[in-house]
Copies of this chain bind each other. A is one copy, B any other.
Amino acid sequence: MTRVGGQGGSPAAPRAVDVARLAGVSQKTVSRVFNAERYVSDDVRRRVLGAAEELGYRMNSAARALASGRTRSIGVVTLGTALYGPASLLIGIERAARDAGYALRVVNTLEGDRGGVAGAVESLLEQGVDGIVVSEPIDESDEGSVSLSVDVPVLVLGAPATFGGPRAVTAGVGAESLARAATEHLLDLGHVTVHHLAGPQRWFAARDRLGGWRAALSARGRLQPPVLEGDWSAASGYAAGRELASAGDVTAVFAANDDMAIGLIRALTEAGLRVPDDVSVVGFDDIPVSAYVTPPLTTMRQPFDAVAHEGLRLLVQAIEKPDAEPAPANDPPVELVVRASTAPPVARTTPARGRRSASRSNGSAHAPPAGNGPPATD
C-alpha cells in the first residue's frame, strides 16, 4: 500500500499535503481554503487555489466524510418506474439538493419488493447519508402502515410524514384536496355522480386520491359507484374503460392519473362513446402529452418541482439546524387545467347521440371515427 510515484499507470492523485507543500502552507490551511472557513488571508487563499489548480487537486470526499462525520449527501428512495410523477420529483430533488450543496444517492425499490423501503433506507444509512428522502413510497407491509425509525432527518413525499418516523417532515399539497377539487369540477358541471378509476391502493398517493373523491361525493350526498383499481398504466386504464363502457350509466370519471385516463378514453372511444359528449374524464398530474391527446385532457396539475424544492428546504434545515422549529411547509400552488375532456352531461334521450357540447377552447375535439382496432394490450 505504498503510493506509487510517477511510474506505472497514472500517478497517484495529489492530496492536500501536496498542495500545501507547493503553496508553502500547512495541510490544514489547504483544508481551510477548500471549506471556505474564516481566517484565511487572501494571499494564502490565492496561492493555495493556484497550487491546487496546478496539481489538479480534488478533495477526497471519503476522507472528508470520515473525518467530519458528514457526507454532504442525501439519499433518495424512489420507485423504479418511469412514471412522470416520481421521475419529476427525482429531478426536482436532485436540483434542490445540488443547490444546497448536497450530492444525491439513489436507491430504487421495485414494486412488489417486500420490505423494499426499509431495505433501501438501510442501504442508504450504510452509505452514510446525512438525510433521506422517501419519494412516493408504497405500503408493502402486511401489518398496516410501517414507520421507519432512523437517526437522520427524513423527508417523506407523497405519504404521511409519520411514515418516515416521528421526526420526519413532509411537503406537498394534500393529494386528497386536489382529488376532491377534480371531482367537484365534474359535479359542478352537472354530473349526478362521478366514477373513480383509482391507482393501486398500496400507494399512499392513490389512497389519498380515492379519499378526496369519496369526500367530494359525500359532501354532496351523491352515491359512490364502485371503484375500479388500475396500476397507473394506460393499459390498466384501457381495461377499466371497457368495463365502464359496458356498465352503461357512466357520465363522468375521475382517473387517478393521466396515463390511466388516456387508456380509459381510448376504451370508451372504441366502445362508441364520445368524450366528453357522452362521458367526461378528468385526469391527474398533467403529464406533457395530456394537452395533445384527443380530446385534450382536463387534469389536475401537480407542482412537482415546487414540492421537491420545498421539501428539500425542510430537510436541509433539519440536517443543518436540528433544533430549529420545522418551519411549516408552504403549500405550493395547484391548478386544475380544464381542457376538452370534460363537459356537462347530456340527457340520454337518444340512445347514443347527444347534442354536441359547445365547442371548447383550443381543442376542436374531433371524435375520431369509432372502432379503430384495439391497440396491442401491454
User: Could you list which residues of chain A lie within 8 angstroms of chain B, going by C-beta atoms?
Assistant: 10, 58-63, 65-66, 71, 73, 80-82, 84, 87-88, 91, 94-95, 98, 103-108, 110, 122-123, 125-128, 151, 233-235, 237-238, 259, 262-263, 265-266, 269-270, 288-289, 291-296, 337, 339-340, 359-364, 366, 368, 372-378
Distance in Å: Cβ of A34 to nearest Cβ of chain B: 10
- Asked whether, in the complex, the Cβ of A235 is within 8 Å of the Cβ of B291, the reply is yes
- Asked whether, in the complex, the Cβ of A269 is within 8 Å of the Cβ of B289, the reply is no
Which residues on B sit within 8 Å (CB–CB) of A235? Answer: 288, 291-292
A82-B84, A294-B294 given; name 5 further pairs at CB < 8 Å.
Answer: A58-B125, A60-B128, A62-B128, A233-B288, A235-B288
Can you report 23 residue pairs joining A to B where beta carbons are below 8 Å apart?
Answer: A10-B151, A73-B127, A82-B87, A91-B108, A94-B107, A98-B107, A104-B105, A104-B106, A105-B105, A235-B288, A235-B291, A238-B292, A259-B288, A259-B289, A263-B292, A289-B293, A291-B376, A293-B293, A293-B294, A294-B294, A340-B372, A359-B373, A364-B376
Closest 4 CB pairs between A and B? Answer: A62-B65, A296-B375, A291-B375, A234-B292
- Determine the residue in chain B with the shortest Cβ distance to A110: B95
Distance in Å: Cβ of A170 to nearest Cβ of chain B: 22
- Determine the residue in chain B with the shortest Cβ distance to A62: B65
